[in-house]
Structure 1
Amino acid sequence: MMQNENVAITFSADEALVLSDWLEQVIDNPEFSRLIGENKAVWVPLMKISGVLEHGLTVIFSPDYADQLRMAQERLIDSLGEFGRT
């Protein structure tokens, strides 16, 4: 891969919502920072993903955000089949 080449990632609305919520919970967590440890370069893509998701998801400002998040989580878990049930 060339240094200036871009890589595109596409998420479903459910995936984006669940990932955004998870990143919001863990990014400021000291334990998460310890997991990253000396690999500080990982912060660059994590912050970029978090920012893109935050700016692209209007649902995070919705009064029923918690319900929409829960339903998205359930749909994604269901999509895992047996793996999601264990």
Structure 2
Amino acid sequence: MDDEAITIKLTRDQALVLSDWLYRAMFRSDDLEGIVSDRAVWSPIYAISGTLDKTLSEVFMPDYGPRLEAAKQRLRVGLYGEGDEPTSPAEGG
């Protein structure tokens, strides 16, 4: 296999929510080892996380929390509609 780059396109909301989840899984808990047992998978995870961190200025803004919650809400509405959100944390994260 060669090292040809692959481009993944995310909306800004998707990138912000994914960046937050990756940060929590990688640095604020031991979740990553429980979720990803094959360390080879960590290489692309670190690459994605690093790219998101460099791209998203929101992660350094003082109102990061409200911005993140607003992005999550917009994504939930996009997936489930206005009143059709999942009720359990496992479903909606």
Range into which the TM-score falls when normalised by the shorter chain: 0.7 to 0.9
- Aligned identity (percent) is 36
Aligned counterpart, 2:51? 52
Which runs of no fewer than 5 residues in structure 1 stay unpaired?
none
**Aligned residue number for residue 63 of structure 2:** 64
Moved over 6 A (4+): none
Query: What's the TM-score once normalised by structure 2's chain length?
Result: 0.80
Aligned residue type for 1:70:
E
The one-letter amino acid paired with 2:49 is S
What is the root-mean-square deviation in Å for CA atoms of aligned residues?
1.5
Aligned to 2:91: none
Cα offset, 1:4, TM superposition:
2.3
Aligned partners of 1:61, 1:20: CA distance in 2, in Å? 12
Q: How many residues align?
A: 83
Structure 2 distance, partners of 1:68, 1:31, is: 24
TM-score (norm 1): 0.86
Alignment of 1:68-83 (within 5 A): 68-81=67-80
| Structure with more contact order per residue of length (Cα contacts < 8 Å, sep ≥ 6) | 1
- 1:25 aligns to what? 24
